[in-house]
């Protein structure tokens, strides 16, 4: 080849050789980095502690036990008195297990309590809910039986429309109560006179004393009598010929006895009330949808007397005649039921444990206490029993009402249309049973040794008997299992860490092998380049030599 071509070829080979040398240096640098990473992983593996399997001997201890003929007791802890005497040298804590009669409190989800719900309307003066309306003008619409009242106040005209309240229904009865036409009396204040068949009511005379009021039985068969006519007018749609009614001619009032008076003898203190109803005066009530007035008050409005008092009532409910919890029939305990010794023992234990500050419940304690006279402790009623899976349980009227009432919250009504399925509050109910209970006791004691470092007998400060101690080697299996579980967990963590290190090391080694292979390829390529460069160099030398000979004329 020519001189120029040879030189160009030599320069190209030199450049390629330089590139391979540079690439080889870079690969070696990368291998150094990989080596450092491998060293780090190795050091990390060396610093990872290997879990140690727990030794069962570490969970084994000497246990002392003895028997007093009734219970097998265990000495669980002891420490030596700082100042020992002839009688006692240690403070000892011991325990034994025995069946303890214990009252339990359970909660029944979705109790499905069946009872009667009674809607009532209560009158309230809270937050000034009674208001006066000063009438500027009034109109009566005969066709719609409606009063339209206006009030001119501070350049404003306020209008209210009052429509008649239906004569029937619970609202009429409650409005009678609001306006004082019915009075609630304690059924226990009625005394039956067997000689006359009359009831004598000890009414409040307004001065702290009582005045007797005589109620004579009404002969409902004599429908032409004036008393029966007054009776029907007074009770309207609530009149029932088969019920027993009594009339007080002196004050013009009636009572209806549906058995409440008789039941009150067995359930004194419970909400057993009799409604005393005044003879109906023909009053009619009107409402604006929120407050109520009487027709008499409306008709008494004049320019001189234009203040109309509107009374507010709110809807409430009461529950009665609790019959079932789910498919379990409820039974209201009478005084005769409570007289049973087993029932008394069970309920007293339940009450005692519910009153306990640590394991009891204040609400349950109060509900149970309400069933007993606070002074005499006599059972006055309100406890129900039922059988569930053949086991007898107890609950109270207040507990039943809490669950029954919960069916009428806004949330409950969103999920069901009836009054049984959406009872959201669990029913609290009770039972007393024997529970195997750990009983602990700490007191001073005299512990004697056998001369080999172990105790052989014990005598307590409240017992003159010297008990021989049995020595046993006990392994705390539960603690040992917990330690083993912890060991298995740590071992799994250790194995995973080693696996992760090995996996990372393997990736690094694979990358290093790739770099090593590339270096070998570069070494082969460099040797080939060196060989070719030497051949080109010889060609160039010959060309130079030939050229110099030509010009020298040789």
- How far, in Å, CA of 533 to CA of 25, rounded? 21
Distance between alpha carbon 35 and the CA centroid of its chain, in Å?
Answer: 61
User: Which of 65-79, 221-235, 257-271 bottoms out in mean pLDDT, i.e. has the lowest?
Assistant: 257-271
Pairing of strands 90-108, 427-449: antiparallel
pLDDT at 419: 63
Average pLDDT across the chain, whole number:
85
The span from the CA of 524 to the CA of 518, in Å, is 10
**Residue 239: pLDDT band by 50, 70, 90 thresholds?**
confident
Q: What is the pLDDT of residue 396?
A: 96
Q: What is the mean pLDDT of residues 352-359?
A: 91
Return the closest-CA partner of residue 314 out of 183, 131, 174, 419.
174
Q: What is the Cα–Cα distance from 374 to 553, expressed in whole angstroms?
A: 149
Query: Rounded to whole angstroms, how far apart are CA atoms 492 and 45?
Result: 15
DSSP codes of every residue in 120-158: EEEE--GGG-SEEEE-SEEEEETTTTEEEEEEEETTEEE
Residues 6+ apart with CB under 8 A from 39: none
Instruction: Give the highest mean pLDDT range of 259-268, 413-422, 492-501.
Output: 492-501
CA distance 297 to 309: 8
At residue 150, φ and ψ (nearest 5 deg) are -125, 150
- Whether the pLDDT of residue 125 is over 60: the answer is no
CA–CA separation, 252 and 164 (whole Å): 26
- The answer to whether residue 273 scores a pLDDT higher than 90 is no
pLDDT at 414: 56
pLDDT of residue 385: 96
Cα(47)–Cα(543) distance, integer angstroms:
68
> Mean per-residue pLDDT for 233-250?
86
**CB-hemisphere CA count at 13 Å for 410?**
0
The residue-averaged pLDDT of 368-379 equals 92
What are the structural domains of the chain?
3-55+481-552 (1.10.287), 69-112+326-464 (no CATH), 118-319 (no CATH)
pLDDT category of residue 232 using cuts at 50, 70 and 90: confident
Q: Please state the rounded mean pLDDT for residues 365-384.
A: 92
What is the Cα–Cα distance from 530 to 207, expressed in whole angstroms? 134
Strand partners, 282: none
pLDDT at 128 over 60: no
The CA-CA-CA angle for residues 293, 297, 301, to 5°, reads 125
- Give the count of alpha carbons within 13 A of 7, CB side only: 5
| pLDDT of 303 strictly over 90 | no
Q: Which of 29-43, 390-404, 409-423, 503-517 has the lowest average pLDDT?
A: 409-423
Render pLDDT for 82-96 as a digit per residue (tens, 0 to 9).
886 778 999 999 999
Q: What is the pLDDT of residue 467?
A: 92
Closest residue by Cα to residue 72 from 84, 80, 64: 64
456, two tokens: 């052989």
Rounded to an integer, what distance in angstroms lies between the CA atom of residue 408 and that of residue 418? 9
What is the Cα–Cα distance from 436 to 72, expressed in whole angstroms? 13
Average pLDDT over residues 186-215: 85
Between CA 447 and CA 88 the distance in angstroms is 8
Q: What is the mean pLDDT of residues 480-497?
A: 91
What's the pLDDT tens digit per position in 514-539? 888 888 888 888 888 788 778 877 87
Average pLDDT over residues 213-221: 92
**Do 78 and 64 touch, CB atoms closer than 8 A?**
no
> Phi, psi at residue 125, to the nearest 5°?
-110, 5
Q: How confident is the model at residue 269 (pLDDT cuts 50, 70, 90)?
A: very low
The confidence score (pLDDT) of residue 426 equals: 93
pLDDT for 168 equals 60
């Amino acid at each position: 080849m020519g001189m120029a071509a040879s030189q160009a070829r030599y320069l190209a080979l030199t450049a390629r050789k330089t590139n391979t040398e540079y690439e080889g240096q870079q690969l070696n640098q990368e291998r150094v980095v990989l080596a450092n990473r491998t060293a780090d992983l190795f050091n990390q593996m060396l610093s990872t502690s290997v879990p140690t399997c727990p030794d069962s001997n570490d969970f084994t201890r000497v246990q002392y036990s003895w028997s007093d003929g009734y219970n097998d007791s265990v000495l669980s802890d002891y420490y030596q008195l700082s100042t020992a005497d002839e009688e006692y040298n240690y403070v000892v804590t011991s325990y034994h297990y025995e069946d303890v009669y214990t009252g339990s409190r359970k909660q029944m989800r979705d109790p499905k309590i069946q009872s009667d719900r009674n809607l009532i309307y209560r009158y309230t003066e809270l937050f000034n809910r009674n208001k006066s309306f000063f009438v500027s003008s009034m109109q009566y619409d005969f066709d719609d039986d409606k009063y339209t009242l206006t009030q001119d106040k501070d350049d404003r005209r306020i209008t209210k429309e009052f429509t008649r309240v239906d004569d029937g229904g619970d609202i009429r009865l409650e409005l009678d109560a609001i306006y004082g036409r019915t009075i609630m009396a304690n059924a226990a204040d009625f005394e039956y006179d067997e000689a006359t068949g009359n009831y004598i009511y000890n009414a409040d005379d307004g001065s702290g004393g009582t005045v007797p009021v005589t109620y004579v039985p009404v002969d409902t068969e004599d429908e032409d009598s004036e008393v029966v006519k007054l009776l029907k007018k007074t009770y309207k749609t609530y009149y029932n010929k088969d019920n027993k009614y009594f009339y007080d001619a002196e004050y013009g009032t009636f009572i209806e006895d549906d058995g409440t008076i008789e039941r009150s003898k067995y359930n004194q203190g419970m909400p057993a009330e009799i409604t005393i109803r005044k003879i109906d005066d023909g009053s009619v009530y009107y409402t604006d949808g929120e407050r109520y007035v009487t027709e008499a008050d409306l008709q008494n409005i004049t320019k001189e007397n234009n203040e109309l008092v509107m009374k507010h009532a709110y809807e409430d409910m009461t529950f009665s005649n609790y019959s079932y919890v789910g498919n379990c029939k409820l039974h209201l305990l009478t005084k005769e039921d409570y007289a049973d010794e087993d029932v008394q023992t069970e309920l007293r234990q339940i009450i005692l444990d519910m009153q306990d500050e640590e394991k009891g419940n204040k609400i349950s304690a109060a509900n149970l206490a309400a069933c007993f006279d606070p002074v005499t402790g006599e059972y006055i009623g309100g406890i129900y029993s039922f059988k569930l899976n053949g086991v007898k349980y107890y609950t109270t009227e207040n507990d039943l009402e809490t669950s029954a009432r919960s069916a009428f919250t806004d949330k409950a009504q969103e999920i069901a249309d009836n009054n049984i399925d959406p009872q959201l509050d669990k029913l609290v109910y009770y039972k007393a049973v024997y529970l195997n209970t750990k009983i602990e006791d700490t007191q001073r004691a005299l512990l004697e040794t056998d001369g080999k470092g172990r105790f052989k007998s014990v005598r307590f400060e409240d017992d003159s008997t010297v008990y021989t101690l049995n020595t046993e080697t006990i392994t705390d299996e539960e603690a040992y299992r917990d330690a083993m579980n912890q060991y298995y967990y740590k071992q799994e963590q250790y194995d995973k860490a080693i696996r992760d290190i090995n996996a990372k090391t393997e990736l690094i080694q694979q990358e290093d092998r790739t770099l090593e292979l590339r270096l070998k390829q570069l070494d082969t390529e460099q040797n080939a380049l060196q060989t070719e460069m030497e051949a080109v160099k010889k060609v160039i030398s010959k060309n130079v030599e030939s050229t110099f000979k030509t010009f020298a004329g040789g």
